[in-house]
Structure 1
Amino acid sequence: MYEPANVAERINKLLKEKNLQQKDMLMESGLNKNTISSMLSRGSMVKADTLAKIADFLSCSVDYLLGRTENPEIYRYEKTSQNGEKAP
């Protein structure tokens, strides 16, 4: 199971590394100002769409925030045609 406190710590780590403010992330993502503190203090996990908004703001993968990978880079699946070219 994913621990909300661990997710919050990863979010805060990326914010610090990118020199971003938590309040700006929450405001720009349309999230409640208590989102991260609730994860830390009450162990409340955010919904999937909220986690996706945070990942988008931080330009990282949801898998990284959840601790499923140590690589914060976003993996983008590119569909290819049978002859190996990018599909439209």
Structure 2
Amino acid sequence: MYFKRIADLRIDNDMTQQQIADILGCNRQVYARYERGLREIPISMLIKLAKHYNVSIDYILGITDIKEPRIKK
């Protein structure tokens, strides 16, 4: 699965692949493979990305076009 949205979010936030890889605790090559869809993104990484960008995991996965995470009260 190609995760164009994580590349778009990274670029929109003026960040490099290395900076995001550092946040995720992986190396840049692994993160680059996530962006290109050559490697599945573990749930733990999806959670970190969603929290970092303040978007929902559904948005990252392309399930919805609504960026904001839904918070249950």
Tell whether the structures are fold-level matches, with TM greater than 0.5: yes
Q: Could you list the runs of 5+ residues in structure 1 that have no partner in the other structure?
A: 79-88
Q: For residue 57 of structure 1, what is the aligned residue in structure 2?
A: 52
What is the match of residue 76 of structure 1? 71
Q: Aligned pair in 2 of structure 1 residues 30, 69: CA closer, same or farther (>3 Å)? A: same
Structure 2 unaligned spans of 5+: none
Task: Indicate if the aligned counterparts of 1:35 and 1:46 stay in contact, CA closer than 8 A.
Answer: no
Seen in structure 2, the aligned counterparts of structure 1 residues 28 and 36 have a Cα distance that, compared at 3 Å, is: closer
- Percent identical pairs in the alignment equals 22
Q: Which one has the bigger helix percentage?
A: 2
Cα distance, 1:16 vs structure 2: 1.5
- Give the counterpart letter for 1:58 in structure 2: Y
Q: Deviations over 1:23-56 (max 9, x none)?
A: 11210221232233223163x2111111111111
Q: Does 1:67 align with 2:62?
A: yes
Count of matched residue pairs: 72
Correspondence for 2:13: 18
Question: TM-score, length-normalised on structure 2?
Answer: 0.80
Contact 2:18 2:27 in 1 (8 A): no
TM-score under structure 1 length normalisation: 0.69
